[in-house]
């Protein structure tokens, strides 16, 4: 499933389109502790978080993630959006909680196991 397909299926708000909208998503990761995401997320994962500061973009770039989804209508800092634009990272937002997003992703066949 491509990032664009997930955006449509989950009615996600696109904050910045980034370069990965047409790329396949290979898994998912949920976490708000950046060091944990760095240690455990995998390339092409879809990352769900409530963190909104610009360091999330650095982590997404470092790990080559498929996209970052801000749960619970979290509003990113202006610096975060600018950083996403500079690094061409797909940044999304949802009114759903992290738990609800994971459940929906699992229903679409996106797993945290691989």
The answer to whether residue 112 is domain-embedded is no
Q: Is the dihedral of CA 94, 46, 90, 87 positive or negative?
A: positive
For residue 114, being part of any structural domain is answered with: no
Of 16, 15, 67, 17, which is closest to residue 45 (Cα–Cα)? Answer: 67
17-43 tens-digit pLDDT: 998 899 999 999 999 999 999 999 999
Q: CA 99, CA 5: separation in Å to the nearest integer?
A: 20
For the chain, what is the domain count?
A: 1
Q: 109 — alpha (psi -120 to 50), left (phi > 0) or beta? A: left
Across the beta sheet with 13-16, what order do the strands follow? 13-16, 91-93, 67-70, 45-49, 27-30
114 has pLDDT over 80: no
pTM above 0.85, yes or no: yes
Identify the CATH number of the domain in which residue 36 sits: 3.40.1390.20
């Amino acid at each position: 499933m491509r990032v664009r397909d997930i955006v449509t299926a989950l009615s996600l708000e696109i904050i910045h389109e980034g370069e990965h909208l047409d790329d396949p998503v290979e898994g998912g990761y949920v976490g708000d502790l950046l060091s944990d995401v760095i240690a455990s997320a995998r390339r092409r994962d879809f990352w769900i978080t409530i963190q909104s500061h610009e360091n999330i973009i650095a982590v997404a770039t470092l790990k080559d993630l498929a996209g970052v989804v801000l749960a619970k209508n979290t509003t990113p800092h202006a610096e975060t959006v600018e950083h996403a634009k500079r690094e061409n990272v797909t940044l999304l937002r949802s009114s759903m909680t992290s738990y609800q997003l994971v459940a929906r992703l699992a229903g679409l066949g996106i797993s945290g196991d691989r």
